[in-house]
Structure 1
Amino acid sequence: MVKGKQIVFRGAAVILGMYFLVLGIVKAKPLLAPLATAILLAMLMIPVARKMESWKINRVVTSLLNVFFLFLISLGFAALIGMQIQNFVADWDKAEEKIMPKIEQLKDYIFEKTPLKKEQLSLKPGDTKVGEHAIDFANGIYNFTGNYLITLIYTFFLLNYRQKFKNFFIRLFKDEDKDEVEKTLQQTSGVTQKYLVGKFLLMIFLAVLYAIGMGVTGVNNFIVISLLAALLSIIPYIGNIIAFFIAIGLGYLSGGDTTALIGIIVTFGVAQFIESYLLEPYVVGDNVNLDPLITILAVIVGSLLWGIIGMIIAVPILGMVNVVFKHVQALKPYHYLLSNNADENKDG
């Protein structure tokens, strides 16, 4: 009886602790999300910083240059996508004439085949509040800009003081464990670097493949679709699905014909085949070494906790955690659970 009570109390304590932990992570998003992103960016730029420091350049200067380089890359992507979106908006009147009949057809089909009624989805006059939407949009831009700048600032300090942080982690452990701790830190950083660099190269390849396939088949707005689809590929599995529906919306519904629809379907099918079986195994490889199911769960949990940024950083962060599990004896069962041990899993 006493043992049963202990199990109940411990189980309740674990559930309660997990609840407050998750709640704390969600509430701390304004602090933790930029910091986690900055950690990944700093790890990505460490090889570049080391190379520059080997040229006898001061560490403060190299850190500033690396942050400036990241700023230029992000600014270039934003400008390129912004120009393409501007062109799309300029042609919106023509696109709207072609989109609305197709949307009405889709709505009629839904009302005919499902229990939904038009009255349930119709908006009453005055329901749309333009002023509130404008304020929300302005707040969103303000928050994004603030998080973007603070992320770059965090990245600078993490690069500049990386040796101090490394020494701090090493000093947390006994002298006989310091070599293992240093090895773990190096592998953790290496996993992140290889994954992010591989994903970046993969996005470039996919953008070119999408642009060629959709451009040849006459898909409207194929440049902006290709860029958005390539950027979304950083979200494993789910990003490609979102990109496909964006391509349907921007490329087919906005004025395309059946040829454009077929071009989108074929382009994405071929691109996903090349990505999954040719590019990803060689460009990204098994650097993160996570089970596919665990990867999908990580993306979903990241989305629930921190939204889009959570979906993007969930996989590399879990990959880093998995490296730590690998080097801690008591946590090795969790490493086995998270890892993609294909050969070992065949026994069951």
Structure 2
Amino acid sequence: MNQEKNKNLIFISFFIMLGVCILLYFSRRVIAPFFIAFALAYLLDPLVDRLVSFKLSRTLSVLILMLTFFLLALGCVLLLIPVFSMQAENLAKNIPTYVGVFQQWMRPVLDLIHGLDSARVEEFIQEGLSRFGELPMKALQFSSKFVWGSISNLFNIILMLANLVIIPVVMFYLLRDFDAINNKLLALVPPRLQAKVEEVMRDIDQVLSRFVRGQLMVAGLMGLMYSAGLFLCDTPMSLSLGMMAGLFNIVPYLGLILGLVPSVLLTYIDSQEWLSVVSVVGVFAIAQAIEGMVITPRVVGDNIGLHPVAVILAVLLGGELFGIAGMILGVPGVAVINVLLSRGIAQYKGSTLYSP
């Protein structure tokens, strides 16, 4: 009888989890800001608890914390504005140099055009004219795609602006009521299971906190590698570009794009040598290989108790299912699942279903 109940419980739990996963997947765009707000609230809750320990109300503590972060963000923006202004001035001064470089790039193309045989040019023109009749239909197709694309982009912009409002509002209420929500959820658990649930939640909390520390460590190591490599390549602003690439490395591919593109452009304009550009690309390629194969699997994986292969699989699978957000949250999500599976397996081995 107990075996039959255990089997039914396992099947019911499996289908409930499957249904929740399907629901989350199809509603991912709507619930994404709520997940972000929850993640931020979860990370900031210890700071709120620390402020509450100084005899402040929880609402006031949340307001102080959010205001502090807003002022810090505003201060960073104000500090960066002079830097951007100076770089814009340097860009304006170097425009003649950039024009000269562009002319050098285009000279082979212009020489090729001037060297073409007139008969080949006429044949090319006739072929182009023969295709001219297809333009109205192609223009109509392009117009319809453009209209639908514009509507989609407008919707995405509206959604992004709405998220900018939703995230801080939801985060405020979650931070204010974080402990109350935890207590209410725990009260729904049968009393005989509350101790086990609290133990599991503590394990999950430890895993997630170690994940955050691991990600910050990875970002710091990547910033050092990028900066050192760009310095050896004589790239202008090597320290700033390297640290920026390392900081944004927390978001997969964002740090690579923000670091590689300006580094390549500045290096080529400064040195006028393709070998230097190849060296810069090599720096980013080697750093990415080391990060993907060694640093993240070892640093993050060891911190949260995951095998390096599981870390790589979590990043790839998360990106395939949920895009950039999935790549960021894939590893901590798998770490949480690993904690639950470990507890579930231990419970299963101790049940009569495993050893009657």
TM-score, normalised to structure 2, is 0.63
Q: Does 1:262 align with 2:284?
A: no
| SS in structure 2 of the partner of residue 307 of structure 1 | helix
Letter in 1 for 2:27: A
Displacement after TM superposition at 1:152 (Å): 2.1
Aligned mates of 2:344, 2:80 — CA distance in 1: 44
Partner of 1:29: 28
Please tell me whether residue 287 in structure 1 is matched to residue 286 in structure 2: no
Bigger drift between 92-101 and 39-48 goes to 92-101
CA distance in 2, matches of 1:289, 1:146: 37
Look up the match of 1:189.
205
Match of 1:323 in 2: 339
Residue-by-residue CA offset, 1:113-160 (whole Å, 9 max, x unaligned): xxxxxx9xxxx8965998887776665444323223322222222221
Higher Rg: 2
Which range moved further: 260-269 or 148-157? 260-269
Q: Distance in 1 between matches of 2:28 and 2:85?
A: 29
Alpha-carbon distance in 1 for matches of 2:309, 2:174: 32
Give, in angstroms, the shift of residue 59 of structure 1.
0.8
SS at match of 1:287: helix
Letter in 1 for 2:214: G
| 3-state secondary structure, aligned to 1:324 | helix
Rounded to whole Å, the distance in 2 between the matches of 1:131 and 1:75 is: 37
The change in CA–CA distance for 1:169 and 1:232 in structure 2 (over 3 A counts) is: same
Deviations 1:207-244 (A, max 9, x none): 34423431452325646643553244325xxx36x754
Task: Label 1:261 to 1:216 Cα distance change in 2 as closer, same or farther (>3 A).
Answer: same
Task: Supply the AA of the counterpart residue of 2:340.
Answer: V
The equivalent of 2:312 in structure 1 is 296
Aligned equivalents of 2:261, 2:213: Cα separation in 1: 30
Deviation at 1:178, TM superposition (A): 1.2
Unaligned runs of 5+ in 2: 1-13, 110-127, 129-134, 350-356
1: distance between equivalents of 2:332 and 2:99? 39
Aligned to 2:173: 157
- Tell me the CA shift for residue 41 of structure 1: 1.7
Equivalent residues in 2 for 1:166-315, closer than 5 Å? 166-220=182-236, 222=238, 225-235=241-251, 239=252, 243-244=255-256, 247-253=259-265, 256=268, 257=273, 258-266=275-283, 269=286, 273=290, 284=300, 286-315=302-331
Runs of 5+ in structure 1 lacking a partner?
1-13, 106-118, 334-348
**Are the equivalent residues in 2 in contact too, given 1:81–1:224 (CA < 8 A)?**
no
Distance 1:179 1:43 in 2: 21
Paired with 2:308 and 2:288, the residues of 1 have a C-alpha distance of 19
- Name the aligned partner's letter for residue 279 of structure 2: I
Secondary structure of the 2:56 match is: coil
Aligned to 1:46: 45
CA distance in 2, matches of 1:272, 1:308: 19
2:22 and 2:88 map into 1 onto residues whose CA distance is: 40
TM-score (norm 1): 0.64
Deviations along 1:86-106, whole A, 9 cap, x unmatched? 94895697289559949x99x
CA 1:280 to 1:144, structure 2 compared with 1: closer, same or farther past 3 Å? same
Q: Secondary structure at the match of 1:286?
A: helix
Deviation at 1:186, TM superposition (A): 1.9
Name the CA shift for 1:280/1:291 in 2 (closer, same or farther; >3 Å).
closer
Letter in 2 for 1:292: P
Q: How many residues end up aligned between the 2 structures?
A: 296
CA spacing shift, 1:139–1:279, aligned 2, 3 Å: closer
Identify the structure with bigger relative contact order (alpha carbons < 8 Å, sequence gap 6+): 1
Aligned counterparts of 1:232 and 1:332: Cα–Cα separation in 2: 42
Q: Is the 8 A contact 2:38 2:171 kept in 1?
A: yes
Give distance in 2, aligned partners of 1:96 and 1:148: 43
Cα RMSD between the aligned structures? 4.6
